């Protein structure tokens, strides 16, 4: 790469990181505000979930076009199977996700963050920026750069964001050509996000565990359990979407009827405990507050229902909640501190469900502290080995 192209790539990465960081702050802060409103007025807002679903479907039908494919379109661009990621994807997915959360749907935000970053960077690489950029695989490199910036800007885990973007498109392959640009964009988005005051979730755990053969055995058991739960979530999500489309082929009818069902169930069962991101379950799990043995199962159920009928949002934060809640339940059974096992579940269920290995380990370190990295490594090795290459990303490829 000549000097001019190298400088162009650095500047491109800085600009992408800065712009994506700003967008993630807007998206994240508004989402947190809407979540507070939902908690305060839950009994009223949940009634409008079916109508919000109709509006979301109208948005995608009227303006969406290819944007309806969501993360699938991002993966197609990453594999070079499409040259266009429309910029209108960004406002449509942001507004749709805000509405899903405001009115009580159970969904995440990671998918939106990655779509924002990937769509913007891919669009920029197709415009005048291409004059200053290397020609070889630049659309794919630009997309990965934006994905890393999007993940980092929202979750403020810059190292994990880089590895997630590098490894998620093709299992078994790291897109090292994007390492420099992804790292620059990721840390830029992180600093912008932190400077503008977007709330970061972190919970430092001071580990005093002795790394003994008995501890390794316990971690293997946990890795197997969390890995199978992540695998179950991925398979169930794909099956849920397929069943929902087969039972109610019409998109408007599916999201409206589904919205009615979700609203009733979420209202009746613990009055909104399973609405939104699941941050309440994460906080309760780590703080030693009451967690029901069925919390993780109901969070799985409501997240799959919400996403299967057509509401928008990601899966990752619910996966964090599922893993944390399950960890809090099994910790006393296996004889380990509740906060430690909840943290293990937090990152391991996510890794299993996304079919990623390196990023979850670093997420654990960046969120809970690096003292637990050996523990995260062992459990993730087992979980990654037993997930059967199941993934929440249907267009993720497996390297042969």
DSSP, res 176 = G
Strand partners, 171: 398
pLDDT band at 135 (very low <50, low <70, confident <90, very high): low
Query: What's residue 13's pLDDT?
Result: 94
Residue 305 token pair:
């229902």
Specify the pTM. Answer: 0.95
Percent of the chain with pLDDT over 70: 97
- Say how many C-beta atoms besides its own lie within 10 A of residue 137's C-beta: 14
pLDDT at residue 2 tops 80: no
Query: What's residue 133's pLDDT?
Result: 66
Question: Which pLDDT tens digit goes with each residue over 334-371?
Answer: 999 999 999 999 999 999 999 999 999 999 999 999 99
Query: How would you label 257-275 residue by residue, b for 16+ Cβ within 10 Å and e otherwise?
Result: bbbeebbeebbeeeebbbb
pLDDT at residue 102 tops 90: yes
Question: Which pLDDT tens digit goes with each residue over 234-281?
Answer: 999 999 999 999 999 999 999 999 999 999 999 999 999 999 999 999
Query: What's residue 134's pLDDT?
Result: 65
Which of 26-40, 74-88, 151-165, 217-231 shows the lowest mean pLDDT across its residues? 74-88
pLDDT band at 209 (very low <50, low <70, confident <90, very high): confident
pLDDT at residue 1 tops 70: no
pLDDT at residue 126 tops 70: yes
Question: Which pLDDT tens digit goes with each residue over 158-171?
Answer: 999 999 999 999 99
Q: Is 315 helix (H, G, I), strand (E, B) or coil?
A: coil
CA distance linking residue 36 with residue 383, whole number of Å: 34
Q: How many CA atoms lie within 13 Å of 93's alpha carbon, on the beta-carbon side?
A: 34
Percent of the chain with pLDDT over 90: 81
pLDDT at residue 140 tops 80: yes
pLDDT band at 129 (very low <50, low <70, confident <90, very high): low
For the domain made up of 3-195, the CATH class stated in words is: mainly alpha
pLDDT band at 66 (very low <50, low <70, confident <90, very high): confident
CA 74 to chain centre: 14
Query: What's residue 327's pLDDT?
Result: 97
Query: What's residue 305's pLDDT?
Result: 97
Instruction: Considering the chain, tell me which residue range(s) the CATH 1.10.3080.10 domain(s) occupy.
Output: 3-195, 213-398
CATH 1.20.120.160 fits 213-398, yes or no: no
Start-end of H helices in the chain: 3-40, 42-45, 49-59, 71-78, 89-102, 110-125, 138-155, 158-167, 179-195, 213-247, 251-268, 279-287, 295-308, 316-334, 338-354, 358-368, 373-385
pLDDT at residue 146 tops 70: yes
Query: What's residue 9's pLDDT?
Result: 86
Query: What's residue 399's pLDDT?
Result: 82
Query: What's residue 200's pLDDT?
Result: 87
Residue 8 token pair:
């162009």
pLDDT band at 111 (very low <50, low <70, confident <90, very high): confident
């Amino acid at each position: 790469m000549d000097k001019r192209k190298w400088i162009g790539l650095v500047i491109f990465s800085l600009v992408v990181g800065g712009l994506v960081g700003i967008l993630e702050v807007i998206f994240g802060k508004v989402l947190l505000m809407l979540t507070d409103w939902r908690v305060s007025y839950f009994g009223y807002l949940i009634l409008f979930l079916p109508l919000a679903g109709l509006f979301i479907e109208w948005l995608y039908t009227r303006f969406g076009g290819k944007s309806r494919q969501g993360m699938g379109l991002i993966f197609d661009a990453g594999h070079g199977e499409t040259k266009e990621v429309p910029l209108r994807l960004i406002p449509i997915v942001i507004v749709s996700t805000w509405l899903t959360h405001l009115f009580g749907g159970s969904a995440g935000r990671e998918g939106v963050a990655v779509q924002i970053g990937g769509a913007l960077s891919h669009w920029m690489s197709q415009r005048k920026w291409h004059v200053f950029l290397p020609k070889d695989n630049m659309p794919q490199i630009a997309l990965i750069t934006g994905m890393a910036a999007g993940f980092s800007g929202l979750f403020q885990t810059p190292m994990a964001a880089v590895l997630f973007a590098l490894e998620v498109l093709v299992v078994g392959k790291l897109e090292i050509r994007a390492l420099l640009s992804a790292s620059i964009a990721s840390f830029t988005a992180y600093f912008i996000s932190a400077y503008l005051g977007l709330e970061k979730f972190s919970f430092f755990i001071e580990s005093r565990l002795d790394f003994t053969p008995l501890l390794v055995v316990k971690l293997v058991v946990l890795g197997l359990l969390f890995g199978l739960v992540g695998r179950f979530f991925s398979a169930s999500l794909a099956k849920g979407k397929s069943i929902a489309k087969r039972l109610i082929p019409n998109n408007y009818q599916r999201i409206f009827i589904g919205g009615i069902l979700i609203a009733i169930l979420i209202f009746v069962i613990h009055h909104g405990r399973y609405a939104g991101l699941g941050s309440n379950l994460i906080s309760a799990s780590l703080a030693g507050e009451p967690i029901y043995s069925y919390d993780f199962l109901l969070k799985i159920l409501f997240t799959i229902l919400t996403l299967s009928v057509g509401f928008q949002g990601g899966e990752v934060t619910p996966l964090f909640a599922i893993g944390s809640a399950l960890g809090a339940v099994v910790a006393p059974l296996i004889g380990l501190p509740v906060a430690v096992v909840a943290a293990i579940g937090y990152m391991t269920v996510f890794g299993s469900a996304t079919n990623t290995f390196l990023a979850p380990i670093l997420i654990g370190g960046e969120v809970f502290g690096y003292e637990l990295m050996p523990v995260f490594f062992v459990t993730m090795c087992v979980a990654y080995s037993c997930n059967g290459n199941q993934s929440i990303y249907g267009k993720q490829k497996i390297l042969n």
